[in-house]
Amino acid sequence: MKRVLKAASAAFLPLALTFAVSATAQDKPATQFDITPYIKKAEFEDIKISPTGEYYAATIPFEDRTGLVILRRADNKVTGGFSIGKNTHVADFWWVNPKRVLISTSRKFGALDNPMLTGDLYGVDADGTNAEILVGQSVDVMTTGSNIVTKKNETVAAFLIDSLPDDENNVVISVSTFGNDPVSRAEIMDVRNGKRRQIARAPIRNADFVTDNTGKIRFVYGVDVNNANKLYHRSGPDADWEIINDENASDHAEYPIGFAEDNKTAYIRVQQAKGPDKIVAMDMESKTRKDVLQDEDANPGAIIYRQGTLIPVGVRYYVGKPHTAFFDKASPEARLYRSLEAAFADQAPFVTSYTADGKLALVQVSSDRQSDEFYIFDTQTKTAAFLLSTRPWIDPKQRGERRPITVQARDGLALKGYLTVPVGVEARNLPMVVVPHGGPFGIYDSWGYDVDAQTLAGAGYAVLQINFRGSGGRGRAFHLAGAREWGGRMQDDVTDATKWAIQEGIANANRICIYGGSYGAYASLMGAVKEPSLYKCAVGYVGVYDLPDLSKEMRGESKRFGNWSADWMGDDENKLATTSPNRLADKIKVPVFLAAGGEDEIAPIAHSKKMEKALRAANVPVETLYYPTEGHGFYRPEHQAEFYTKLLAFLSRNIGGATAAPAPVKSK
């Protein structure tokens, strides 16, 4: 299901952007350290090479938006750019021919907020000209100085399905109505002028379409009002839809990921009763199935496609350290990845784009101690040339190792997670910060550069992150094990991981705090409620703390969201109250730090203020940091700096780590 926001008005503004060269910052040791290089925004997020290799397109994060810049590869000269209003981001982009980029936008109101796709699709040429909104709710928006060409005003959301690599003029998109249960249709769209014609209509709400290798719509899947998954197939444009899977009957969901070259065999991701999801090959005439791939621990993550096509050939998995597997171990793609993995040992390479002739691959390289780097890999000479680093000021030798761990919960369930250890320090008897992730369902911590973990490790803390039951990445059974376990077994998993770190001698039992954002903030405060002697302090960042209120908010949005709330949180208001930290403040015996934003639509600041009021009434020491203009996570650099400065000072007072070196803080 795509998450769509009906956005406020926005206009295209060309950017005059250049690559910035950052000086390497030296971290200050001992009791204070410079947090600036830890929390400074990345200079780039994603980069893709054009089909001819003449250009790059890259996304650039700013204080409250994300823009796009286009550069000529020969001299790195900026030739064009794209940016729209505050809180609006380039969500994704695609080279749809050698000279034109298609852009999808999103809106979000905070650093932790999941971007909500606006459903607008824009086009811009490599030289910055012919910038147009092609389809979406903002086609009627005009701003002085804008060079957007207006289109027919239609309040719809559009998303790319297939870029049609062999067609430079057209793409396949889905077009949906707005609302919590949208109706969708598939259309062919001209990338130059936005003209469209319908080619399919979905038989279910909340739908996603999948094409075969000729661009024909063959699959559609979505969810009904009870959030049950349904998958449909058709043999061709004039054929009727036939149902392949109904979760109401099968007790599992299925998701198509593409077709083999002959368009007769489809590859489908299938949930299992136990263990991670499988990839199966299905003959679409006989409906017979054959297992293709299944990892022992991990769901399929990113799908690896044959260069220049939508033919699946392999999978990248994210549990533990990222690793890949291929349908055919001898395929060219498998050999390419084995070469890359050998060249970038102890890192995680991933091909983001190719030139049309396949000679050049743009490779993203990730690791736990270095933010993403990009290389141009010559597939013929097997040589890689460094292109850029998203955070070039980071010295990986000064960052902590992020170790995959396995912890057994009290009921025997195997939990996966990560332990980040301060650089140059043995993992023995350390002060520790436990950091439960947000979400909570379907989200999971993975291996890679983690700003929070590295900042805390820089202050001298071991950092424990456990993917409690309900987290994503481990299969249907593990996911469902978290249903209605807010404050229950999900919380016990965090407790069991904390006690594991003590038993292993990693953590000093007298120097442990818990800190999280969003759901993680809830888990932090519930941790302090349920384990009053385990943690010495608790931190809630943009959190929710009253489950009956949260349930009412969700039921008010739609019947489907209300059903989600009942299925995953519970529908007994009295029981929800017994697992709401703001109603149990008298059980908290340690200092608390709360931070929140006044524009937060995911976790309204009212939750934090009610939590604060309850803590003060219970005589619990509480500190707060509220910004009326921030959303679900703080955007502004000075606000982030103040938050981390106060966070480290709070932790230091309670468990003795380093604090942030003084830095100028702008007024609010």
CA 391 to chain centroid, in Å, comes to 19
Q: Are 246 and 228 in contact (CB under 8 A)?
A: yes
Say whether pLDDT at 650 is over 60: yes
Q: Which pair of tokens denotes residue 108?
A: 């979000």
Q: Which domains does the chain have, with CATH numbers?
A: 1-15+22-201 (2.40.128.660), 400-545+580-660 (3.40.50.1820)
Q: How confident is the model at residue 156 (pLDDT cuts 50, 70, 90)?
A: confident
Read off the amino acid at residue 259: F
Strands 462-467 and 414-421: antiparallel
- Stretch 614-632: mean pLDDT, rounded? 94
Say whether pLDDT at 372 is over 50: yes
Say whether pLDDT at 603 is over 60: yes
Q: How confident is the model at residue 601 (pLDDT cuts 50, 70, 90)?
A: confident
- Stretch 246-253: mean pLDDT, rounded? 94
The percent of residues in the chain predicted with pLDDT above 70, rounded, is 90
DSSP 12: -
pTM of the full structure: 0.89
Q: Which residue has the higher pLDDT, 8 or 158?
A: 158
Task: Please give the sequence-ordered ranges of beta strands (E in DSSP) within 518-636, or none if there are none.
Answer: 537-541, 592-597, 622-627
- Stretch 234-239: mean pLDDT, rounded? 92
User: Quick one: pLDDT at residue 546?
Assistant: 93
pLDDT per residue as tens digits for the range 299-331: 999 999 998 899 999 999 999 999 999 999 999
Say whether pLDDT at 236 is over 50: yes
Say whether pLDDT at 563 is over 80: no
Say whether pLDDT at 143 is over 50: no
Q: Are 156 and 177 in contact (CB under 8 A)?
A: yes
- Stretch 8-24: mean pLDDT, rounded? 34
Residue with tokens 């309900």: 470
Burial status of residue 273 (CB atoms within 10 A of its CB: 0-12, 13-18, 19 or more): exposed
Q: Are 434 and 509 in contact (CB under 8 A)?
A: no
Nearest to 219 by CA among 354, 128, 312, 299: 312
Say whether pLDDT at 5 is over 50: no
Q: Which residue has the higher pLDDT, 152 or 402?
A: 402
Asked which of 139-143, 395-399, 547-551 is least confident by mean pLDDT, the reply is: 139-143
DSSP 166: T
User: Quick one: pLDDT at residue 145?
Assistant: 37
Q: How confident is the model at residue 667 (pLDDT cuts 50, 70, 90)?
A: very low
Say whether pLDDT at 477 is over 90: yes
Q: How confident is the model at residue 12 (pLDDT cuts 50, 70, 90)?
A: very low
Average pLDDT, the chain: 89
- Stretch 208-227: mean pLDDT, rounded? 91
Say whether pLDDT at 7 is over 50: no
**What are the phi and psi torsion angles at 655 (to 5°)?**
-135, 5
Say whether pLDDT at 11 is over 80: no
